[in-house]
């Protein structure tokens, strides 16, 4: 998917919402468990209910991998369902991969070709040759971890460098030269809205994927205020706050309400 297509979808739906499909067999409504593939059925219901308010879906790959073969099948079916029924939607494999050369290319093929995802999250620690192989795929995106919202994010990401600035700034600065605004995004934790100015000084136009709104406690208002310079180049994620809003048979209806409520807050900034 191109940047223009993604921006067009944001304009049309008046939303920058990304729904995280962190689907956990132990947390999905019990009435689904008697079906053949409860994880897929859960995702399908969530997608059908939330798609009018949602521009991107982000399956967290760990949740599927933890279930072995059956998890991989549920993931594959979920992505096929999205691509067939809602081809305008942007898909993110939240895999946080980071490996070099031909290994990175293998991962890129697995997620871009085998699963047909539009994008994948990538870790920066191994440097240019762990990121560039992902950037080589046409109309596919790499979403590089820059500043994450977890407590451990400050263990290394905010270390002050001898030549000035913090590590995450150097990650932004250096990696922005490896890709373009058309194939590279960054993960920026929403609980650090105070850092948005620094980030937008370095990458004013790149899309930012912002997790941590909702369950992790980030302020949506602050993200929207500081995160948009020109285009509304933000994908704002909520996972548990939407998909586990309710555990009854009405879970999908409640999920849609939560998604709509977030989208309405976003619409004011569009």
**Within 142-171, which residues bind a copy of itself (CB under 8 A)?**
145, 148, 150-157, 159-163, 167, 170-171
Q: Which residues pair with 242 in a beta bridge?
A: none
**Within 52-71, which residues bind a copy of itself (CB under 8 A)?**
60, 62-63, 65-69
Site string for a copy of itself, 119-138 (x = CB under 8 A): ----xxxxxxxxx-------
Please, what is the minimum distance in Å from the beta carbon of residue 65 to a copy of itself? 5
Query: Tokens 């004013």 correspond to what residue?
Result: 204
Six token digits for residue 102: 């031909």
Please report the sign of the dihedral spanned by the C-alpha atoms of residue 221, residue 157, residue 94, residue 234. Answer: positive
Contact 206, 228 (CB under 8 A): no
Dist. CA 161–CA 155, nearest whole Å: 13
Closest by CA to 236, choosing from 183, 202, 189, is 189
Half-sphere exposure of 80 (CA within 13 A, CB side): 9
Q: Is 72 in the site for a copy of itself (CB under 8 A)?
A: yes
Size of the site for a copy of itself (CB under 8 A): 54
**Within 173-202, which residues bind a copy of itself (CB under 8 A)?**
174
Catalytic, 96? Answer yes
Q: List the catalytic residue out of 44, 73, 77, 96.
A: 96
Dist. CA 147–CA 197, nearest whole Å: 13
Residues identified as active-site: 96
Residues near a copy of itself (CB under 8 A): 22, 60, 62-63, 65-69, 72-73, 76, 96-101, 103-104, 106-107, 109-110, 114-115, 123-131, 145, 148, 150-157, 159-163, 167, 170-171, 174
């Amino acid at each position: 998917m191109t940047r223009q297509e993604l921006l067009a979808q944001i304009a049309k739906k008046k939303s920058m919402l990304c729904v995280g499909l962190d689907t956990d067999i132990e947390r999905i409504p019990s009435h689904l468990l008697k079906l053949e593939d409860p994880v897929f059925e859960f995702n399908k219901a969530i997608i059908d209910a939330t798609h009018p308010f949602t521009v991107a879906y982000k399956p967290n790959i760990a949740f599927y991998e933890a279930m072995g073969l059956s998890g991989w099948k549920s993931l594959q079916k979920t992505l096929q369902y999205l691509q067939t029924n809602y081809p305008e939607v942007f898909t993110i494999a939240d895999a946080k991969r980071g490996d070099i050369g031909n290994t990175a290319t293998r991962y890129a093929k697995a997620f871009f070709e085998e699963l047909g995802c539009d994008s994948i999250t990538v870790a920066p620690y191994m440097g240019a040759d762990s990121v560039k192989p992902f950037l080589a795929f046409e109309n596919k995106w790499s979403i590089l971890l820059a500043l994450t919202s977890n407590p451990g994010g400050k263990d290394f990401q905010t270390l002050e460098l001898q030549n000035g600035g913090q590590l995450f700034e150097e990650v932004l600065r250096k990696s922005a030269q490896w890709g373009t605004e058309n194939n590279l995004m960054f993960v920026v934790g929403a609980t650090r809205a105070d850092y948005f100015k620094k980030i937008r000084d370095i990458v004013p136009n790149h899309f930012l994927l912002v997790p941590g709104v909702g369950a992790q406690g980030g302020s949506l208002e602050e993200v929207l205020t500081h995160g948009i310079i020109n285009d509304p180049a933000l994908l704002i994620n909520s996972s548990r706050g939407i998909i586990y809003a309710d555990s009854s048979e009405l879970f999908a209806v409640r999920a849609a309400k939560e998604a709509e409520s977030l989208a309405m807050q976003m619409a004011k900034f569009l």
